[in-house]
């Protein structure tokens, strides 16, 4: 386990603590049994009917229960991102009646784009590290590919187990 000073050195010193985010995003005031659902497309191509189908189910569950449905763009694979994909998603979702109930301009729980939520996630990663429940991984992409190839050759489940 890393020392607290080592953990702190990995993060922006101005990173807020969990209580900041818990005040920023308080529990939603929704009816009992209301569901908050979301669909998270990756902007690496076009919207397809399978995604629209899943989004429709998510929206129906939220709306029928008195809850909230939103789209959160999963843009963390930016190397494969296709220009204009998010706009095409928005048009398709509106066309099929599965547009978000909340957006960056209308919702209180945004941003609704994964990469723009990095500070929130960093806060909780730091907290988990402080609790000894997470650790940094310094394996390179090549290290991980070699590990995976070795595991596949040995016919064992692939994964990184912190060795």
Same domain? For 107 and 157 the reply is no
Same domain? For 110 and 76 the reply is yes
Same domain? For 78 and 126 the reply is yes
CATH of the domain at 51: 3.40.50.620
For helices 85-95 and 49-64, give the axis angle rounded to 10 degrees.
60
> Tokens 């995604």 identify what position?
51
Same domain? For 12 and 70 the reply is yes
What tens digit of pLDDT does each residue of 71-96 get? 999 998 888 999 999 999 999 999 99
Same domain? For 147 and 67 the reply is no
DSSP string, 123-156: HHHHHHHHTTS-------HHHHHHHHHHHHHTT-
User: What pLDDT, on the 0 to 100 scale, is given for residue 163?
Assistant: 55
> Tokens 């650790």 identify what position?
135
Same domain? For 152 and 109 the reply is no
Same domain? For 15 and 77 the reply is yes
Same domain? For 143 and 121 the reply is no
Partners of residue 102 on adjacent β-strands: 70
Contact assessment for residue 28 and residue 9, using Cβ atoms and an 8 Å cutoff:
no
Question: How many domains does the chain contain in total?
Answer: 2
% of the chain residues with pLDDT over 70: 99
Whether this model's pTM surpasses 0.85: no
């Amino acid at each position: 386990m890393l020392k607290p000073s080592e953990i702190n050195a990995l993060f922006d010193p101005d990173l807020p603590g969990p209580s900041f985010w818990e005040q920023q995003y308080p529990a939603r005031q929704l009816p009992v049994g209301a569901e908050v659902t979301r669909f998270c497309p990756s902007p690496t191509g076009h919207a397809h009917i399978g995604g629209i189908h899943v989004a429709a189910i998510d929206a129906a569950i939220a709306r029928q229960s008195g809850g909230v449905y939103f789209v959160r763009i999963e843009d963390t694979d930016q190397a494969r991102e296709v220009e204009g994909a998010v706009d095409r998603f928005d048009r398709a979702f509106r066309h099929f009646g599965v547009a978000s109930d909340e957006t960056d301009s209308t919702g209180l729980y945004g941003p609704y784009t994964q990469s723009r939520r990095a500070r929130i996630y960093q806060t909780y990663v730091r907290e988990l590290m402080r609790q000894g429940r997470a650790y940094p991984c310094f394996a390179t992409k090549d290290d991980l590919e070699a590990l995976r190839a070795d595991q596949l050759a040995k016919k064992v489940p692939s994964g990184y187990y912190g060795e």
